[in-house]
Amino acid sequence: KTQQAAVVDPSEAVPVNKAVEQHGVLLTTILNTHHHWDHVGGNKELKAKFPELIIYGHESDRGRIPEQSVFLKSGDAVRFGEQSGTFLHNPGHTSGAITYVFGRTAFTGDTLFAAGCGRLFEGTPAQMHDSLNKQIGGLPDETELYFGHEYTEANLRFALSVESGNAEIHKKLAVVTALRASGAFSTPTTLAEERRTNPFMRCSSAEIRATVRSEEPSHNLSEKEVFRTLRELKNNF
């Protein structure tokens, strides 16, 4: 209605400018999920073209997100045009990682990928476990999740390596392999799908726990310890 638009994590400006022209909208807002260059690389050029641009990020990313003008803290709303949403602080991949939530749609950046999660550069396994399973995992099952990178096929192959008996993973891998072969993307996923196929959200699975026990026989098998071992296995997969 307002013809105002937002972009999530513009790694470069050119594709954003093309989309703005194609759709005849005014870009008013950038929603950055974290400070890594491949998510903020277009900020400065877009700000130069659209001087009134509002750029959101977490308060702990002050000085790390180019041109950031809104420093989100607990309880803040996220707004553009007539849209009003919220955010989840998801430390793990980075200390300031966040997920933007608008109704039944969420943008997870590099915290949650389809069948996977981001590497831990600034947070702990326990933090990332909670970011996925308590925060993002607290959203409704039907929530559509848009993630930051197309790693789904590789992630599903890792998921099968730790839970080969999961028929849902086999089915999704077949679908995603066909999608990628046709040049299509696998985003979005849903929270319900992730509960069925994402090993990092399945730390209570008997088969995954058996896999972890075989890697570390002395493992105490708390869910957070299972998560830690899974992340280490994925790092070397």
**Residues taking part in catalysis:** 34, 36, 38-39, 93, 110, 149
How far is it, in rounded angstroms, from Cα 124 to Cα 45? 33
d(CA 224, CA 92): 13
Cβ(128)–Cβ(140) below 8 Å: no
Closest-CA residue to 46 (of 72, 61, 66, 64): 66
**Please, are residues 136 and 129 in contact by the beta-carbon 8 Å criterion?**
no
Amino acid at 69: S
Check: CB of residue 5 under 8 Å from CB of residue 28: yes
Q: Can you list the alpha helix ranges (DSSP code H) found in the chain?
A: 14-23, 37-40, 43-49, 125-130, 152-162, 167-181, 191-197, 206-215, 223-235
Tokens 């990178």 locate to 149
User: Across the strands, what pairs with 132?
Assistant: none
CB 211 within 8 A of CB 203: no
